[in-house]
Amino acid sequence: MTSTTIEAATTPGRAAGRPERGPGSAADGWVRRIPLLPALVFTFIVTQLPFVVTIYYSLQSWNLVRPGSRHFVGLQNYAQVFTDSQFREVMLNTVVLTVGAVLIAVVLGLALALLLNRSFPGRGIVRTLLITPFLITPVATALLWKTVLLDPNFGLVDFALAPFGAGHTDWISSFPLFAVMLAIIWQWTPFMMLLLLAGLQSQPDDVLEAARVDGATGPAIFREITLPHLRRFIELGIVLGTIYLINTFDAIYMMTQGGPGIASSNLPFYIYQRAFLGFDIGQSAAMGVVVAILTTIVSSFALRLIFRTFSGKEEAA
């Protein structure tokens, strides 16, 4: 028996095949994390400290147009938030705007991706033109739809619908939430298209060819093979679209100012109105805390879905 064998036999950790850990291994781990400390401190300062201050303001009754009105009210602002009918209506607007825009953009993006997945003359030019809306800034997109497309006097939409008796329709005043949704869908459809096109082009050709040899038709191939293959890409598109569009502000501000009334307001814009137009710091801070908690819950679910998508693990049925 060699000395190495004797040492392995007398050392439980090494006999079990476990690597030795020196007394300084934990300290070495912290040393490796030290370069991340400035970023962690900066993130805490710019995110958590303002949130703590917001919580403090949410416990105060404070309106800037009434000097001397600031006093501690505890959870009264939160009780008023949950009994505020306008807040519930705005929350419903947020859900309709976000879910509607994301789902319609995914469906349109899938249709365009299926089109671009085929070979035809000028496909590169068509792809470039379809991507263009996503490259335009949201403010420019909102102004484009407000002044060029949906204007009741000179808009291209009314011009195109005039032969059908729909000319001179003030779309933004009559259907404000729908008008904002149109602008958002127009801008986000190219993103969904690119994501789903990447999924289509990653599909194995031999599987499709085998299905055709077995006599499967185009709709059957799409339903049984292509759509399950695109499931992860569709989930990723829905998650990313929801995370971004739930915070929509610029399109509403530029197109409708949240009106008429609060018909097109979402949660971020309504909080802005209460804080910077109504100067109600306590109420707006309480709304901000509630929205932050709800957004954290949605984001946690979204991140779990993204991690599951990238890891390739499916939950047990």
Residue 303 has pLDDT above 80, yes or no: no
pLDDT category of residue 311 using cuts at 50, 70 and 90: low
pLDDT of residue 317: 37
Domain count, the chain: 1
57 located within any domain: no
pLDDT band at residue 278 using 50, 70 and 90 as cut-offs: confident
- Domain assignment present for residue 170? The answer is yes
Mean pLDDT over 138-165 rounds to 89
Q: Report yes or no on 141 lying in a domain.
A: yes
Residue 70 falls inside a structural domain: no
Tell me what the mean pLDDT of segment 53-62 comes to.
Answer: 91
Residue 266 inside a domain? The answer is: yes
Q: Decide if 254 is inside a domain.
A: yes
> Does the pLDDT of residue 13 top 50, yes or no?
no
CATH number of the domain within which 193 lies: 1.10.3720.10
Residues in CB range of 252: below 8 A, 6 or more apart: 180, 258, 264, 265, 266, 269
> In this predicted model, what pLDDT tens digit does every residue of 205-247 receive, in sequence order?
888 888 888 888 878 888 888 888 888 899 889 888 988 888 8
In this structure, is residue 169 part of a structural domain? yes
The domain in which residue 229 lies consists of: 80-311
Of 45, 75, 46, the closest CA to residue 58 belongs to 75
* Residues whose CB is less than 8 angstroms from the CB of residue 112 and which lie 6 or more positions away in sequence, other chains included: 130, 189, 190, 193, 197
According to the model, what pLDDT value does residue 260 have? 87
